Amino acid sequence: MNYLSIILLLPVLSFLVLVVFGKKWGEKSAYVSIGAMVVSFALSIYALLFVMGGGHTEITFTWASIGSFKLTFGLLLDALSAMMLVVVTIVSLLVQIFSFGYMHGDKRIGWFYACLSMFTASMLLLVYSPNYVQIYMAWEGVGVFSYLLIGFWFEKRSASDAAKKAFMVTRFGDLGFGVGLVLLYIVAGTLDMDKVFAMHLPEATAALIAILFFCGAVGKSAQFPLHVWLPDAMEGPTPVSALIHSATMVAAGVYLVARSYPLFEMGPVSLEVVAIIGTITAFMAATIALTATDIKKVLAYSTISQLGYMMMGLGVGAYAAGVFHLMTHAFFKPLLFLGAGSVIHAVHSQEIFDMGGLGKKMKITSITFLIGGLALAGIPPFAGFWSKDEILAGAFASGHITIFIFGLLTVLLTAFYTFRLIFIVFFGKPRGHHGDHAHESPAVMSMPLIILGFFALTAGLIGSPFAQNAFQGFIAHGHEAEAPNYMVMGASCIIALIGIGFAYMKYMTNVLPSNVISKDNFFYKLLVNKYYMDEFYYYALIVPTHAVARAALAFDQKVVDGAVNGVAWVSMQFGKGLRHIQTGYVQNYALYMVIGLVVLLIWSIKILGLF
Amino acid sequence: MIEQVIFFALAAVAIISAIAVVLSRNLFHAVMILGGFLLTIAGFYFLLNADFVGIMQVFVYVGGVIVVMLFGIMLTPHEANITNAAKLQQKLGTYIAVAALIGLLAMIFIRTTFITSPAEPVKDTVSLAGKLFMTNYVLPFEVISVLLLAALVGAIIVARKEEH
Amino acid sequence: MNLTINWSQVNWLALTPEMIILGFSIIVLLGELFLSKTSKHMLGAVTLVGLVASLVSLGYIWNLQATEFNGMFSVDLTANVLKAILLVTTALVVLGVLKVNVLMGEGEFFSLLLFSVLGTMFMASSADLIMLFIALELTVLPSYILTASKKTRQSTEAALKYFLLGMISSVILLYGMTLLFGLTGETNFAAIAGKLAGHPIQPALVASMLMIVVGLGFKIAAVPFHFWAPDVYEGSPIPVASYLAAGPKAGGFAAIIHLFPLAFGVVAPAWAGVFAILAVASMVVGNLVALSQTHVRRLLGYSAVAHTGYLLVGLAVATKLGYASLIFYFLVYSLAALGAFLVVLALAERGFGENLKDFAGFSRRAPMLALAMAIFMFSLVGVPPFAGFMGKLYLFREAVRSDLIWLAIVGVLNSVISFGYYVTVIRQMYLVSPSEGEAVARMQVSKPLFASIMIIMAAVIVLGVYPNAFLSIIKL
C-alpha cells in the first residue's frame, strides 16, 4: 500500500473506530484521532519533500464501471496538493490537540473526534482528486461533516439552525457546480482533469463551465452573495471554526478555482468574474467586521474578506499569490480562532465589550493573538503581509486599478478592525466581571497557539523576495512571480499602519471623540445589519419557498387528505363495505388514470405522425 | 350475412346494458342488468364458435358471480338507492374524459387493419382447450392454481372476524 | 399448431428458484395449520431459509439463458438480477420482522408473502402475455390481502382503494394485451415482434402499448397511476409496507424491459417519450407533495413515487445501459427505502408514533438506528458517498448520453428539492429535542430487526463507496 493512501486511510480508520468505541472511551478517543493525525502529518511532510525533489505521483484505480463508462478514484500528488496536504494535516493536528483542552468534560467528545477525523479525511480526499467526480464527492463529504460539527451542540436552537443554513446555502452554490459538471461531461466527454486541461474548449463554453464551477466555490468559500452562512456557522465549537471555517473547508472553493485554473484560463471572462466577486467580498466583509461585537463574528467576517483576497488574486492572474495567501492564511487565521477560543474559555463570553485588559492575565494567548493580528493586518515581516502584497502587486501589474484601490482600502479596514479587537480585548481596563477569574489556558491549549504563532511569523518568508519567491516558483511553474514592487509594498504597509493608528486613537486614547462614529448614522446601521443580506434572502427566497410549500400542503389537504378524511369506516365484508364506502374518491383516481391515458394517446399519435 | 345481423344486435344490447349498469341508481337493478350484459358476451362467444368458453361464461359469471353479488346485496342492510355524491364537475369531467377516450379509440380502430384468419370450424373445442392447457399453456395453467390457492387463503383471512 | 410438450426436454434447472419458493410457501401454509401456537414463530425462520435457498439456486443458474414451456418462461441475466434483488430485499424484510407481531397468523403472513414473491419472479421471467398477466395477478392479489390484514379503518380503506384501482388497471392492461393479440395473432413477445417487423405501424398498436403502460405503470406507481401508493404505504401494517416498497416493483420493471424493446420495438420513440413524460410527472408530483408531509410513511410513499420517476429515466433513454442503470438504481433505492421502513418499524414496535415529530431526539434514543436512517435519507437524496449518488450518476449520465439532457437536469433539480424533506427527518433526529419532560431513554430494538437494518446500512455504504462490487456480479 502506498504511503499516500495511508495518509488518507488513517483518519478514516480513526473515524470508524471512534464511531464504535468513542462513547466508551470518552476523552481517550482523542489519543486515537490525534495519533492517526500525527502519522498522517509526518507522511505529508515526506510527500512534500518528495515533490520538492521533483517528484510527481498519480495513482488511480477503477471504482465503478458500467459498460464503457468508468469512474476512477485516484490520488494525485503534485506541488499544489502536497502543499495542501501539509496545511490540512498540520492545522487538523493542532486543532485536535487544542480541542483536548477546550472540549474537556463534554460528554460526546468521542463523536466530536470521530467527526473531526472524517472531516479531515474528506478534505484530504478532495485535495488528492485527479478528477471532478471525486472532488464533487469529497466536496459533499466535507459539507456533511461540517454540518454535523456546526450543529454539534444541537441542543442550542441557534446551532441547529446555523447548521441547516450552512448546508442549504452551500447547496445552492453546489447546484451550479453540479450543472457545470454535467455540462463539462457533455462537452469534453471526460471528467479527468488532465484530459480536460489538455483540450482546447471553445472560449465561451470554457468560461460558462468555469463560472458554474465558481458558483460552487462561492458557496463553499463564503463569497458574496452566498457568504451569509459563515458568520452563523460560528455557533459550532471554536476549534471547529478554526479548522473548518478558516483554514480548510472554506479554502476548498479557492482550491477548486486554483485546481481548475487551466479551465479558467481557457475562458478568461471567468477570471474577471472571479476577480470582481473576490473584490466585492473582500471589501464588503471588511466593512461589516468594523461593527461586529462578537469576537468570533469579527473573525468570521475577516475570514470572508481574506477569502475574497484569495479569489481576487486568482482572478487578476496572480495564481501563485492567491495560493500563497491561502497557505499563510491557513496558519494565522486558525491561530486567531484558537486564541479567541482560549479567551472564550477563560471569560465564558463572546461579546468583546465583556472583555478587556486580558493581556496581563493571559500572556501567551495575547502575544500569539497579537502575532496573528499583525499577520492579518499585513505588517511586515508577518506572514499575511507577503502574500497579501503579492496579490495587490498582481492586481496593479495586470492593470486592474479599481480592484487594486479597493484592495488597498480593504487593507486599511482590516488593520482597523483587527486592532480594534486587540485593543478592546487585551488592553485597557476590564469591563464587567466576566474576566475576573480569567487565567491562562492549560498547556495543551497554549502549545498549539505557540506553534501556529511561529508559522504566522515565518511562513510568509518563504514567498518573500528574501527567499527569491521560492514558494511561488514551487507552486506555479509558468506563473512566475512578479518582480517585487516596492511602491506597492510600501503603500500597503503604510496604509495598514494608518489603520492601526486610527484604532489606537479611537479605542486607546480619547483623541478621536466617540461621536465620530454616530450610531444613528445610516452607514453604521447598514453595517450592523450586514447590508441587510439576511433579510434580503428571507424575503426573496425563504418567504416564496414557504408559500409554495403551503400551496403544496393545501393541495394535499384538499385532494389527498380530503379523500382519507371523507371515507367512512369500511367493513371487511365486501357487501357491507359497498354501503359505507364513498367510492367517489376512488372514482376520481380512476378518472385521473383515464385522463392520463387520453393525454398520452394523443401525444403518441402526434409523435408518430399517425393521423 | 345472418352472422353480421346477430353480431350487431348483440353489440347493441351489450353497449346499452353496459351504459345502463353504470347509470342505474338502484344497486339491485344494476346487478340484474349486469347479468344480462354478461349473457350477451356469452352470445359473442357462441357466435365465434367458442362453445366451451360461452358455456363457461354463463356458468361462472351469470351462475356464480352475479348470484354472489345478489346474496351480498340481500344479506347486508342497504339503502334502496345509492345517493350519488358526485359533484357536477366530477360528473362533467368523467363524461368528457370517457367521451374523449371512446372517440380516440374509435378513430384508432377505424384506421387499423386487424389480423383475420379464416377460422376452420373446430368440432370439439373442449378437447382442444384441454390439450392447450396441458401443453402450450401448462405453466400459466399451473400458476393459476397457485393464484387460486392464494385467493382462497386471502378470502379466509379477510372474512374472518378479529380474534382479539 | 404445436400441441405437444416434451417433458424430458424441459430444463427444470431454470425454474428451481421458483420451485423452491413455491415449496416453501406450501410448507409454511401447512405449518400454520398443524403447528401449535407457540412453535409458529419458527415459520419466519423457515421462510428465511426458503428465500436464501432460492437465492443460492439462482446463483447456480446465474448465467443461464433459456426459454422453456413453449416460450412462456425465459431466463436471462436481467431477470436473474431483478429476482436476486427481490429475494434479498424480501429476506431482509423477513429477518427484520422475525420478532415482530405481524398481526395475523405467521403462516398466513409468510405464505402470502412468498406467493407474492413467486408471482413477481414469474413476472420477471414472463415471455408471453398470458404468463405475464397471470404472474402479475399472483403478485398483487396477496398484496391486497396483506394490506388489509391490520383490520383497522385505515388499513381496510387502503386495501380497498388498492384493490379497486388495481382491478381497473388490470382491466386496462388486459384490453391492451387483447389489442396486441388482435393485431398479430400471437401472445409470445418474440413472435409478436416478428409479426410486426417490416409492416407500417398500426394505430391500434399505439393504443395497445399505452394501455399496457397504464397497467404496468400502476404496479410501479408512476404518476398519474400512483394514487394507491401513499395510502397503502401509510395504511398497511409496517412489515407489509416494507415489502411493498422494495420487492414487487422488480416484476413491473422486468416486464417492461422484456416486453417493450422487443414487442413494441417499432414504436420505440413513442414509448420512450411516454416514459420520459411519466418520469417528469412522477418526480415533480412525488417530490412536491412529499415536501408537505408530516407522516413519515406517507412521506416515504410520495418519495417512492418520485423514485419511480428517477427509475423511469432509465426506460426513457431506451438503451441497454439505461436498463442496466435502472436496475442498479432499483437495488440502491429498494435498500434505502426498505431500511427507512424498518427503522419506522423499530420505532413503532416501542410504541412511538410515525409522525415527523416522533423522530425528535431519536439520535439519543437509538444512535445507531438514527445514523442508519440518516444514511438512508442521504442515499435517497443522492449525497455522495452513499449508494444513491452512484445510482443517480449512472441514470442521469445515460440520459445525457442519449441527448435527453433536459431530463437529466429535471432529475438533478428534483434531487435538490427532495433534499428539503429528507433533511427534515435528519433534523428531527439529530437537532430537535423531544418535548419537555419526556425522559430520553435508550430504545430497545429486537436483535433480528437491528441486524437487518445494519446489513442494509452496510450495503448502502459499500455500494456507494465501491459499486464495482455489485456491478461486476451483475456484469453490467
Report the range out of A470-474, B66-70, C190-194 with the highest average pLDDT: C190-194
CA pair distance A93, A167, nearest whole angstrom: 25
Q: Name the closest residue on chain C to residue A156, using Cα atoms.
A: C431
Sequence-ordered alpha helix ranges (H) in C153-221:
153-184, 189-196, 203-219
Q: Is C73 on the interface with B (CB under 8 A)?
A: yes
Position C2 in a domain: no
Q: Which residues of chain B have a CB within 8 Å of the CB of C184?
A: 115
CA pair distance A48, A85, nearest whole angstrom: 8
Binding-site residues on chain B for chain A (CB distance < 8 A):
27, 71-73, 75-79, 85-86, 90, 93-94, 97-98, 100-101, 104, 107-108, 111, 158-159
* Average pLDDT, integer, range A495-508: 79
Number of folded domains that form chain A: 4
Q: Which residues of chain C have a CB within 8 Å of the CB of A140?
A: 383-384, 389
Q: What are phi and psi of B161, to 5 degrees?
A: -75, 155
Residue of A559, A569, A574, A604 to mutate for B, most B C-beta atoms under 10 A: A574
Percent share of chain B, pLDDT over 90: 31
Nearest in space to B122 (alpha carbons), one of B68, B50, B63: B50
Q: What are phi and psi of A221, to 5 degrees?
A: -95, 15
Query: Across chain A, what does the average pLDDT equal?
Result: 78
Model pLDDT, residue C241: 92
Sequence-ordered alpha helix ranges (H) in C350-404:
362-365, 367-381, 387-401
Q: Are residues A382 and A310 in the same domain?
A: yes
* Average pLDDT, integer, range A312-317: 86
Model pLDDT, residue A577: 34
Inter-chain touch C292–A553, beta carbons under 8 Å: yes
Burial environment of residue B139 by CB neighbours within 10 A (0 to 12, 13 to 18, 19 or more): buried
A 10 A CB-CB count for C412 gives 18
Per the CB < 8 A criterion, the answer to whether B45 and B53 are in contact is yes
Inter-chain touch B101–A594, beta carbons under 8 Å: yes
Report the range out of A1-5, A144-148, A421-425, C43-47 with the highest average pLDDT: C43-47
Percent share of chain B, pLDDT over 70: 87
Show the low-confidence residues of chain C (pLDDT under 70).
Answer: 1-3, 435-440, 475-476
Model pLDDT, residue A524: 63
Question: A276 or C417: whose pLDDT is higher?
Answer: A276
Q: Are residues A515 and A539 in the same domain?
A: no
* Average pLDDT, integer, range A353-373: 80
Position C272 in a domain: yes
Q: Name the closest residue on chain B to residue A602, using Cα atoms.
A: B104
Residue A432 — very low, low, confident or very high, per pLDDT cuts 50/70/90?
Answer: low
Question: C262 or A378: whose pLDDT is higher?
Answer: C262
Per the CB < 8 A criterion, the answer to whether A321 and A391 are in contact is yes
Model pLDDT, residue A537: 62
Spacing of C-alpha A184 from chain mean position: 24
Per the CB < 8 A criterion, the answer to whether A500 and A508 are in contact is no
Model pLDDT, residue C217: 93
What one-character DSSP code corresponds to residue C295? B
Inter-chain touch B162–C70, beta carbons under 8 Å: no
Model pLDDT, residue C379: 93
Min mean pLDDT across A107-111, A334-338, C351-355 is at A107-111
The residues, ordered by sequence, that sit 6+ positions from B25 with a Cβ below 8 Å of its Cβ are B81, B82, B84
Q: Name C126's bridge partners.
A: C73
Number of folded domains that form chain C: 1
What CATH class is the domain B2-121? mainly alpha
Residue A482 — very low, low, confident or very high, per pLDDT cuts 50/70/90?
Answer: low
Model pLDDT, residue B13: 94
Position C394 in a domain: yes
Q: Which residues of chain B have a CB within 8 Å of the CB of C205?
A: 112
Burial environment of residue C262 by CB neighbours within 10 A (0 to 12, 13 to 18, 19 or more): middle
Percent share of chain A, pLDDT over 90: 0
Q: Is C97 on the interface with B (CB under 8 A)?
A: no
Min mean pLDDT across A140-149, B13-22, C86-95 is at A140-149
What one-character DSSP code corresponds to residue A260? T
Q: A249-259 vs A109-128: helix axis angle to the nearest 10?
A: 10
3-state secondary structure (DSSP) of residue A391: helix
Position C307 in a domain: yes
CA pair distance A174, A182, nearest whole angstrom: 12
The 3-class SS string of A555-588 reads HHHHHHHHHHHHCCCCCCCHHHHHHHCCCHHHHH
Per the CB < 8 A criterion, the answer to whether B149 and C138 are in contact is no
Q: What is the pLDDT of residues A156-195, one digit of tens each?
A: 777 777 777 777 777 778 888 888 888 888 788 778 888 8
Q: Is C458 on the interface with A (CB under 8 A)?
A: no
Q: Name the closest residue on chain B to residue A574, using Cα atoms.
A: B72
Element (H, E) at C293: none
Q: What are phi and psi of A379, to 5 degrees?
A: -105, 130
Pick from A130, A146, A171: which residue ends a domain?
Answer: A130
Which of A136, A182, A552 comes nearest C292 by C-beta? A552
Percent share of chain A, pLDDT over 70: 82
Residue of A558, A570, A571, A578 to mutate for B, most B C-beta atoms under 10 A: A578
**Is pLDDT of A544 > 70?**
no
Q: How far is A557 from chain B (nearest CA, A)?
A: 18
Model pLDDT, residue B17: 94
Per the CB < 8 A criterion, the answer to whether C21 and C58 are in contact is no
CA pair distance A232, A165, nearest whole angstrom: 8
Q: Name the closest residue on chain A to residue B77, using Cα atoms.
A: A576
Residue of B26, B69, B76 to mutate for A, most A C-beta atoms under 10 A: B76
Q: Which residues of chain B have a CB within 8 Å of the CB of C3?
A: 131-132, 135-136
CA pair distance C263, C249, nearest whole angstrom: 21
Model pLDDT, residue A435: 61
Model pLDDT, residue A556: 46
Q: Which residues of chain B have a CB within 8 Å of the CB of C1?
A: 136
- What is the extent of the structural domain holding A8? 1-130
Residue A580 — very low, low, confident or very high, per pLDDT cuts 50/70/90?
Answer: very low
- What is the extent of the structural domain holding C107? 12-474
Nearest in space to A574 (alpha carbons), one of B34, B31, B76: B76
- Report domain extents, chain B: 2-121, 122-164
Position C33 in a domain: yes
Per the CB < 8 A criterion, the answer to whether C349 and C369 are in contact is no
**Is pLDDT of B146 > 80?**
yes
The 3-class SS string of C429-466 reads HHHCCCCCCCCCCCCCCCHHHHHHHHHHHHHHHHHHHC
The C-alpha cell at A28 is: 481517550
Residue A535 — very low, low, confident or very high, per pLDDT cuts 50/70/90?
Answer: low
Position C1 in a domain: no
